Amino acid sequence: MIGGELDVRVWAPERKDVRLLLDPRTPGERVLPMTPESRADGASGYFHARIPGVGAGARYAFALDDDSRAYPDPASRSQPDGPHGASEVIDPTAFAWTDKHWRGIPVRDRVLLEAHIGTLTREGTFRAAIAELPRLGRTGITLLEIMPLAEFSGDFGWGYDGVDLYAPYHRYGTPDDFRALVDAAHAQGIGMILDVVYNHFGPDGNFLSCFSPRFFTEKYGNEWGTAIDFEDAEPVRRFFIENAAYWIRDFHLDGLRLDATQAIHDASPKHVVFELGRAARAAAKEPGQPARDIFLVAENEEQKAHLVRSEARGGWELDSLWNDDFHHSARVALTGRREAYYTDTKGTPQELMSAIRWGYLFQGQRYSWQHGRRGSPSLDLPASAFVNYLENHDQVANSADGARVATLTTPAKWRTMTTLLCLVPATPLLFQGQEYGALRPFLYFAHHEPELAKQVAAGRAQFLSQFPSLRDPELVRRLPDPADPRTFQESQLDPTERETPRGIALEAMHRELLRLRRDEAAIYQQAADKVASAVLSDRAFVLRFFHEDGDRLLLVNLGVDLDLGVAAEPLLAPPEPTMDDGGSPKQVRWQLIFSTENPVYGGGGTRSIEDDLGHWRLPGESALLLRPVLAAPDPIYPRPKPGGTTEAK
């Protein structure tokens, strides 16, 4: 809309005649010709129309040549009746924003929670999600990562089958309802990023090829459908680059999560991911205002480090990468299961320590599961270049029953690994409900017409068959039907779980851990090169966070009670003694400041970690955080003389 006029422009280079349909399929329908735009070389391919007196809320569509069908706008901002209906005119300036002074979330303050709008609340709407924000803010969540919103077919779905990239899914609410959610989040000190899918379109409701087959190419393979052609037509490329900027500019979002970037194929001199990242950052800069701090994170199954390197080093200048290696090792440590893509990880202390220090575990070594090499060298990347998680939508749902990981391990182990996730360098990500130990499953759900639904269900069963335990014929017969409304409903969070003793305890633990992450300088610095680690046993290890204002010690034991005795491990040594006012040394000892065995968090209590003789004892399945404090001098004991005799000192 421009000054009360509807200004419409659409790219259809192979079409000879494009007409604008106002209020299509109604008694007031008007059919208006669109004017082809031309360049000197005759290669424009755009059609244009400007119609006065058409305001927000009007419906429109396109007629293409002699095709009798009415097609929605490829860049529609709203599809009130779904992807097969007419598009709706939206005024993007009508919403009254209140976040003028919002500047985003700084790097070290980022704590992500991934959420699906349809299952985050029972109502499954943008407006209902607003009520969740104060609680999430109190817990310590600073960035809400929303699963894809682009309009898709059906009554429910994950969102990765989007077909109208500019239109928020109509069943969640209007575009302004989404703006209201973002605005409310900013008022609570929470940023919001959106998961976007630029590697494929869904199988139902995608009409882009009707406007131009040049949107797609057979040059590259794509496991989810026909690959998108980013190389041969600038308008196609611009369609996606503008989309990235659109979400940042028109919805004040704080960043994007780019889905499956390994399937975004582009051999252009500047990769489209690099260009859309640049466009997104430019969209966060308003005239006369400092730029908002936005967060661009990628999923990349191939684990290519160049996505987060600078342009000068051949990189795409994103901020972070999802770290599946950390997840896989942690999951094996928690459950002991090593099927399918968990085959190459063992969940050992050394693996976890390496993932904390170096990010990816596989940086070009052979990966037996894929019969080839995996990853690329990334030893130079900072901790902020990685997002760690114990759960996300994929990993929870990649099972027979969508079980949350907390149900697959012991409560004590789950508290222990949660502590590791929340305190170590790298950006932590929780999955909705994880902060209070949600027990409701998260299943794969996708509502389609019957024939397509049958194909989707078969494809899902085939995907899960990579897990040998999921090939059992009886289990296959019991797999939830993705198109069944009950599958969707069972995946919706149950708010009453938060009020159980277990829910209260786990939410309190997350709140304290994220406070420690924020308030303890040695942890807040989020510098992997300032953390040293050592293996204490086949199930236990220690991390020491070095800082000029005081070190912190994190002891992690995923096994049984461990008696270290007088441990010959320098990382356990207390910091250097300090001097009192008289110049005499004052002894320093470690003091416990957090334990997963605290009864407040559902634990069984924590005994003393170091006795008067300096013997270390670590409780089984626990994580303990210690800080240095002044202490009384060591007790006086007889000490051996050279040669083995003793004398009192």
Q: Which helix (H) or strand (E) holds 543?
A: strand 540-545
Distance separating alpha carbons of residues 35 and 30, to the nearest angstrom: 16
SS3 of 115-177: the string is: ECHHHHCCCCCHHHHHCCHHHHHHHCCCEEEECCCEECCCCCECCCCCCEEEEECHHHCCHHH
φ, ψ of residue 81 to 5 degrees: the values are: -110, 20
SS3 of 478-540: the string is: HCCCCCCHHHHHHCCCCHHHHHCHHHHHHHHHHHHHHHHHHHCHHHHCCCHHHEEEEEEECCE
Q: Which helix (H) or strand (E) holds 414?
A: helix 411-423
Distance separating alpha carbons of residues 330 and 328, to the nearest angstrom: 5
Which is the catalytic residue, given 145, 176, 229, 259? 259
Q: Exposed e or buried b for every residue in 495-515, given b needs 16+ CB within 10 A?
A: bebbeeebbbbbbbbbebbbe
For the chain, the first-to-last Cα distance in angstroms comes to 89
- Comparing C-alpha atoms, which of 295, 294, 322, 317 is closest to residue 306? 317
Q: For residue 259, indicate whether it is catalytic.
A: yes
Distance separating alpha carbons of residues 162 and 205, to the nearest angstrom: 9
φ, ψ of residue 209 to 5 degrees: the values are: -65, -20
For 177, 220, 255, 278, the CA distances from 272, given in Å and listed in that order, are: 30, 15, 17, 10
φ, ψ of residue 457 to 5 degrees: the values are: -65, -40
Letter for the amino acid at 594? F
Distance separating alpha carbons of residues 630 and 85, to the nearest angstrom: 71
Q: For residue 66, indicate whether it is catalytic.
A: no
Distance separating alpha carbons of residues 376 and 379, to the nearest angstrom: 9
Residue 626: both structure tokens together: 């210690």
Residues 160, 141 contacting (CB under 8 angstroms): no
Q: Is the dihedral of CA 258, 259, 261, 266 positive or negative?
A: negative
Q: Is the dihedral of CA 598, 604, 610, 611 positive or negative?
A: positive
Cβ neighbours around 217 below 10 Å, total: 18
- Comparing C-alpha atoms, which of 321, 250, 285 is closest to residue 104? 285
Identify how many contiguous H helices and E strands the chain contains and give both numbers: 16, 32
Which is the catalytic residue, given 109, 250, 299, 391? 299
- Comparing C-alpha atoms, which of 501, 512, 509, 507 is closest to residue 435? 507
Distance separating alpha carbons of residues 379 and 358, to the nearest angstrom: 6
Judged on CB neighbours under 10 Å (0-12, 13-18, 19+), 208 is: buried
Distance separating alpha carbons of residues 94 and 80, to the nearest angstrom: 18
* Upper half-sphere CA count for residue 637 (Cβ side, 13 Å): 7
Supply the residues annotated as catalytic.
Answer: 259, 299
